[in-house]
């Protein structure tokens, strides 16, 4: 049977605030266990929560950036469940009146744009962390009460790759907004993926499973691909899909059943009587909207218009806020944006990825001015592109200017005609057969001869000149 895949995501974003959602405790990551706690986040009787204003403002910022309608009426509910990482035995969340609803996010995949609808986004607090040792389970309440925004999509995603694109796009927006560090490994961004399959053509949705415990975007993609195959096998062999929560096991590359899914009524939701509902006036919301920065999509469009970048190049450059900033910094000092872009998307990104360096560090490693100075040397034929590729990691490692490295290592390009002519004469003399091949019309032969000259000059010969001189010497011989 042929199936199609349906995926909906619940993404939890930890918002960057100094203090927790409803108390004054610090949200600092990595502090000694249970040092950032107080009667409120520990759920002591008689303590009272107070909403952190920055939590609300950051949440509205995100909601507007993903084109949601922001509710003027703010209300919090208690979601009950019993687990050792939750000292109050309920989580403050929003149930029937979420902060935001009816948004969307456009994703780009294989040159196509697809709109993913966002059902809702609501504010809630995080639980603590359990640490399991061979002899005991320990609990750390430092994270308890940290502000989260949960962003829930409609079941509009149809593949693991689309899901990956959605997460990448969402992360990119959150980074532009400066509301979260989006570090999935630290848990600042967590994603539960709901997935079902149905025979092609069927209208009703299939039974879904909910996947948890993925700690990278790649993990989400792998877990979904695994789970889709598992569901297909299940249906093909005549077994039903059970609605359940399944955990992704990164080491085994498999999902395992954790529990059958609870229903909303199991949570005994009710309005939190300690947090009085209130209204946010539209002016406040509009002021937050005015304050939104340029977002990746808009930046992409601007880069294509202002710098004549291709759609693809502009998308890559604008996807990472810091790469985009770097590009524009460099383009201010040097007027061949395409040349900058090629370097950014080629050797520089390669260098960052290989060394696992985030783009925010680039401006310190290789100030834009140093890059453009090197590009100018290429333009002036002082060095070849090949030499530039070779010395660019050295510029980063030593902090020296390209020109200094070239001088030290005697790398400047040989553009001296007489010097090149004598080397080429030598190469021609040593390669009779290849020269004959070239005369009989084989273009490859020329490439070989150029290669030989490059070898003798350790890559320093000016390739255009080498080409011209070889042709000239052969034709006049
Ligand atoms: P639950 O009550 O189980 O939490 P929700 O209706 O709140 O389910 O939906 C949670 C997420 O699951 C949403 O992102 C939604 O789009 C997605 N979803 C709902 N039904 C399906 C389905 N049959 N297949 C895939 N995803 C689904
Ligand atoms: Mg739900
Ligand atoms: Zn506290």
Query: Domains along the chain?
Result: 3-288 (no CATH), 296-409 (no CATH), 417-475 (1.10.10.410)
pLDDT for the residue 185: 80
C-beta neighbour count of 280 within 10 angstroms: 17
**In this predicted structure, which of 29-43, 268-282, 292-306, 414-428 has the lowest mean pLDDT?**
414-428
Residue 187 has pLDDT above 90, yes or no: no
What is the mean predicted confidence (pLDDT) over 118-140? 96
pLDDT for the residue 244: 93
- Express each pLDDT in 244-260 by its tens digit: 999 999 999 999 998 77
Residue found under tokens 């150029």: 450
| Nearest ligand by distance to the CA of 6 | 1
- Beta carbons of 31 and 58 less than 8 angstroms apart: no
Ligand 3 is an ion; residues with CB less than 5 A from it: 23, 25, 38, 40-41
| Nearest ligand by distance to the CA of 36 | 3
Residue 191 has pLDDT above 80, yes or no: yes
pLDDT for the residue 369: 95
Q: How confident is the model at residue 419 (pLDDT cuts 50, 70, 90)?
A: confident
User: Bigger pLDDT: 60 or 408?
Assistant: 60
Cα dihedral value 393, 395, 398, 400, nearest 10 = 170
Instruction: Return the exposure string of 157-179: e unless at least 16 CB atoms fall within 10 Å of the residue's CB, then b.
Output: bebbebbbbbbebbbbbbbbbeb
Q: What number does the ligand 1 atom closest to the CA of 196 have?
A: 24
Residue 340 has pLDDT above 80, yes or no: yes
- Express each pLDDT in 90-113 by its tens digit: 999 999 999 999 999 999 998 899
Q: Looking at 110-212, list the stretches that DSSP marks H as alpha helix, in order from N- to C-terminal side.
A: 160-177
What is the mean predicted confidence (pLDDT) over 461-475? 87
Closest CA to ligand 1's atom 17: 8
Name every protein residue with a CB atom under 6 angstroms from any ligand 1 atom. Answer: 6-10, 152-155, 194-196, 205-206, 208, 261
Counting residues of the chain whose pLDDT is more than 90, the rounded percentage is: 79
Q: What number does the ligand 1 atom closest to the CA of 10 have?
A: 14
**In this predicted structure, which of 62-71, 85-94, 404-413, 439-448 has the lowest mean pLDDT?**
404-413
| Angle between helical axes of 160-177 and 53-65 (0-180°, round to 10) | 130
For a substitution probing ligand 1, which of 102, 162, 194 has the most ligand atoms within 8 Å of its CB? 194
Residue 407 has pLDDT above 90, yes or no: no
For a substitution probing ligand 1, which of 66, 155, 212, 227 has the most ligand atoms within 8 Å of its CB? 155
How far is the centre of ligand 2, averaged over its atoms, from the C-alpha of 472 (Å)?
75
pLDDT for the residue 157: 98
Residue 347 has pLDDT above 70, yes or no: yes
Residue 334 has pLDDT above 90, yes or no: yes
How far is the centre of ligand 2, averaged over its atoms, from the C-alpha of 338 (Å)?
46
**In this predicted structure, which of 29-33, 153-157, 324-328, 419-423 has the lowest mean pLDDT?**
419-423
How far is the centre of ligand 1, averaged over its atoms, from the C-alpha of 277 (Å)?
27
User: Bigger pLDDT: 120 or 454?
Assistant: 120
Q: How confident is the model at residue 126 (pLDDT cuts 50, 70, 90)?
A: very high
How far is the centre of ligand 3, averaged over its atoms, from the C-alpha of 22 (Å)?
7
Residue 236 has pLDDT above 80, yes or no: yes
Cα–Cα dist 169/104, whole Å: 12
What is the mean predicted confidence (pLDDT) over 280-285? 96
R_g of the chain computed on alpha carbons? 29
Residue 415 has pLDDT above 80, yes or no: no
How far is the centre of ligand 2, averaged over its atoms, from the C-alpha of 119 (Å)?
11
pLDDT for the residue 261: 66
Average pLDDT, the chain: 93
For a substitution probing ligand 1, which of 8, 79, 170, 228 has the most ligand atoms within 8 Å of its CB? 8
Q: How confident is the model at residue 264 (pLDDT cuts 50, 70, 90)?
A: low
How far is the centre of ligand 2, averaged over its atoms, from the C-alpha of 281 (Å)?
28
**In this predicted structure, which of 54-63, 180-189, 230-239, 392-401 has the lowest mean pLDDT?**
180-189
């Amino acid at each position: 049977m042929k199936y199609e895949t349906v995926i909906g995501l619940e993404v939890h974003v930890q918002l960057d605030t100094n203090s927790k959602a409803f108390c004054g405790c610090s949200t600092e990551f990595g502090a000694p266990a249970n040092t950032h706690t107080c009667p409120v986040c520990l759920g002591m009787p008689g303590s009272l929560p107070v909403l952190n204003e920055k939590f609300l403002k950051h949440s509205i910022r995100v909601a507007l950036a993903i084109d949601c309608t922001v509710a003027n009426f703010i209300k919090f509910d208690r979601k009950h469940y019993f687990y050792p990482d939750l000292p109050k035995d309920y989580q403050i969340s929003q149930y029937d009146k979420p902060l935001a609803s009816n948004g969307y996010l456009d994703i780009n995949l294989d040159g196509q744009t697809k709109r993913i609808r966002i059902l809702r986004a609501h504010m809630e607090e995080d639980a603590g962390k359990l640490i399991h040792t061979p002899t005991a389970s320990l609990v750390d309440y430092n994270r308890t009460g940290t502000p989260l925004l949960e962003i829930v999509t409609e079941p509009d995603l149809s593949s693991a790759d689309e899901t990956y694109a959605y997460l990448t796009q969402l992360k990119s927006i959150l980074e532009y907004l400066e509301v979260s560090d989006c570090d999935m490994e630290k848990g600042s961004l967590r994603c539960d993926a709901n997935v079902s399959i149905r025979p092609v053509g069927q209208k009703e949705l299939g039974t879904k499973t909910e996947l948890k415990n993925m700690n990278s975007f790649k993990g989400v993609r792998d877990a979904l691909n695994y789970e889709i195959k598992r569901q297909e096998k299940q249906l093909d062999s005549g077994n039903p899909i059970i609605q359940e929560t399944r955990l992704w096991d990164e080491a085994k590359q498999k999902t395992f059943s954790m529990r059958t899914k609870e229903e909303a009524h199991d949570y005994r939701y009710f309005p939190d009587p300690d947090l009085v509902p209130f209204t946010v006036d539209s002016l406040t919301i509009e002021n937050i909207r005015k304050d939104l920065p340029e977002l990746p999509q808009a930046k992409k469009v601007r880069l294509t218009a202002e710098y004549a970048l291709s759609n693809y190049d502009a998308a890559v450059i604008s996807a990472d806020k810091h790469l985009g900033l770097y590009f524009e910094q460099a383009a201010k000092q040097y007027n061949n944006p395409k040349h900058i872009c090629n370097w950014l998307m080629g050797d520089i990104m390669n260098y960052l990825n290989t060394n696992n360096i985030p783009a925010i560090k680039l401006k310190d490693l290789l100030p834009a001015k140093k890059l453009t100075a090197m590009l100018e040397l290429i333009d002036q034929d002082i060095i070849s592109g090949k030499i530039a590729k070779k010395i660019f990691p050295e510029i980063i490692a030593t902090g020296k200017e390209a020109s200094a490295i070239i001088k030290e290592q005697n790398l400047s390009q040989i553009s001296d005609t007489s010097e090149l002519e004598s080397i080429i004469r030598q190469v021609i003399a040593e390669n009779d057969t290849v020269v004959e091949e070239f005369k009989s019309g084989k273009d490859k032969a020329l490439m070989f001869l150029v290669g030989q000259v490059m070898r003798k000059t350790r890559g320093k010969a000016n390739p255009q000149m080498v080409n011209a001189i070889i042709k000239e010497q052969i034709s006049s011989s």
